Amino acid sequence: MASANRNAIKPVQTIAKLIGNLIFIFLLVLLCALVFLLVQSRISGGPPTVSGYRLFAVLSGSMSPEFETGSLVVVKPVDPAALHVGDIITFGNADGQLVTHRIIGIENDGDLSFITKGDANEVADSEPVPAHRVVGMMVLAIPWLGRILVFSQTKKGILLMIAIPSLLILVLEARSLWRFAAEEDKKRAAQAEQGESTQAEKAEQSLFSD
């Protein structure tokens, strides 16, 4: 009966160990990614960049329903001459702010420029966007990640998203080491018990032979 119970518990322990390992790997990858993006942003003084692609957090709903406030947009560098009507671009406006809107028209009377508009806006942007202000073309929008990116750059964000995951990783690693040490102690205890049993059998056999 006890043996059957042990056999039933083993699969559960295996699954729990697998889940724990997956959580550990996820936290480790998340921590490395956040640290990389945070350090890179602090050093460059600009948005995080991965393999030339820039990451921007969406701060308004002007492009709803294409993407919502709090999304993360991935923008790749592009030759402005290769852009077409319908492309979504990130550009700097006259106030120096970054905007991500859709191209609804192209003007090429001497100097290349773009007429842009937010999908949720009723009218086009107030002035054309000169080609030299184009940062790049949006290739991907991921919901919610923009909020996480912005939050991770605050003091509270650094604490909650870097310090706490680091602590959890240390706790999980310490737990694994403790389990390993406990298993080693059990093995040594079993070997010692087996050794004592063997010595007792030898002593008993010696008495009978005498």
Order the strands of the 88-92 sheet from edge to edge: 49-50, 53-57, 72-76, 134-142, 88-92, 98-109, 111-117, 129-130
pLDDT confidence band for 2 (50 / 70 / 90): very low
Q: Are residues 31 and 55 in the same domain?
A: no
Q: Is residue 22 part of a domain?
A: yes
Q: Are residues 70 and 9 in the same domain?
A: no
Please give the pLDDT value at position 198. Answer: 64
Q: Are residues 72 and 124 in the same domain?
A: yes
Position 117 pLDDT exceeds 80: yes
Q: Is residue 199 part of a domain?
A: no
Q: Are residues 66 and 120 in the same domain?
A: yes
Q: Are residues 58 and 141 in the same domain?
A: yes
For 145-163, what is each residue's pLDDT tens digit?
888 777 877 778 777 766 7
Position 84 pLDDT exceeds 90: yes
Alpha helices (H) in the chain, listed in sequence order = 2-44, 145-152, 155-158, 164-209
Q: Is residue 89 part of a domain?
A: yes
Q: Are residues 87 and 151 in the same domain?
A: yes
- Tell me if residue 75 falls in helix, strand or coil: strand
- Of 155, 170, 195, the residue that ends a domain is 155
140 phi, psi to nearest 5 deg:
-160, 140
Domain range for 36 is 1-45
For residue 2 the two structure tokens come to: 């006890």
**Residues recognised as catalytic:** 60
Q: Are residues 133 and 101 in the same domain?
A: yes
Report the alpha-carbon distance of residue 148 to residue 87 in Å, rounded: 26
Q: Is residue 177 part of a domain?
A: no
Q: Is residue 192 part of a domain?
A: no
Query: pLDDT: is 94 or 141 the higher one?
Result: 141
How many CB atoms are closer than 10 A to CB 76?
15
Q: Are residues 26 and 94 in the same domain?
A: no
pLDDT confidence band for 190 (50 / 70 / 90): confident
Q: Are residues 76 and 135 in the same domain?
A: yes
Instruction: Pick the closest to residue 104 from 96, 114, 112 (CA basis).
Output: 114
Q: Are residues 65 and 112 in the same domain?
A: yes
Q: Is residue 142 part of a domain?
A: yes
Report the alpha-carbon distance of residue 209 to residue 57 in Å, rounded: 86
Please give the pLDDT value at position 14. Answer: 76
Across the range 168-186, mean pLDDT stands at 80
Q: Is residue 180 part of a domain?
A: no
Mean pLDDT estimate for the chain? 82
Across the range 24-47, mean pLDDT stands at 71
Position 199 pLDDT exceeds 50: yes
Report the alpha-carbon distance of residue 182 to residue 176 in Å, rounded: 10
Structural domains of the chain, count? 2
Q: Is residue 61 part of a domain?
A: yes
Task: Judge contact between 145 and 73, C-beta under 8 A.
Answer: no
In sign, the C-alpha dihedral spanning 75, 76, 77, 80 is negative
Across the range 7-36, mean pLDDT stands at 71
Position 173 pLDDT exceeds 70: yes
Kindly state the percentage of the chain with pLDDT values over 70: 79
Report the alpha-carbon distance of residue 51 to residue 54 in Å, rounded: 8
pLDDT confidence band for 7 (50 / 70 / 90): low
Q: Are residues 119 and 66 in the same domain?
A: yes
Q: Are residues 108 and 145 in the same domain?
A: yes
Tell me the CATH number at 137.
2.10.109.10
Please give the pLDDT value at position 171. Answer: 81
For 36-80, what is each residue's pLDDT tens digit?
776 666 676 778 888 889 999 999 999 999 999 999 999 999 999
- DSSP state for residue 126 in the 8-state scheme: S
- Of 155, 181, 205, the residue that ends a domain is 155
For 97-108, what is each residue's pLDDT tens digit?
999 999 999 999
CB proximity list for 67: less than 8 A, separation 6 or greater: 58, 73, 141, 143
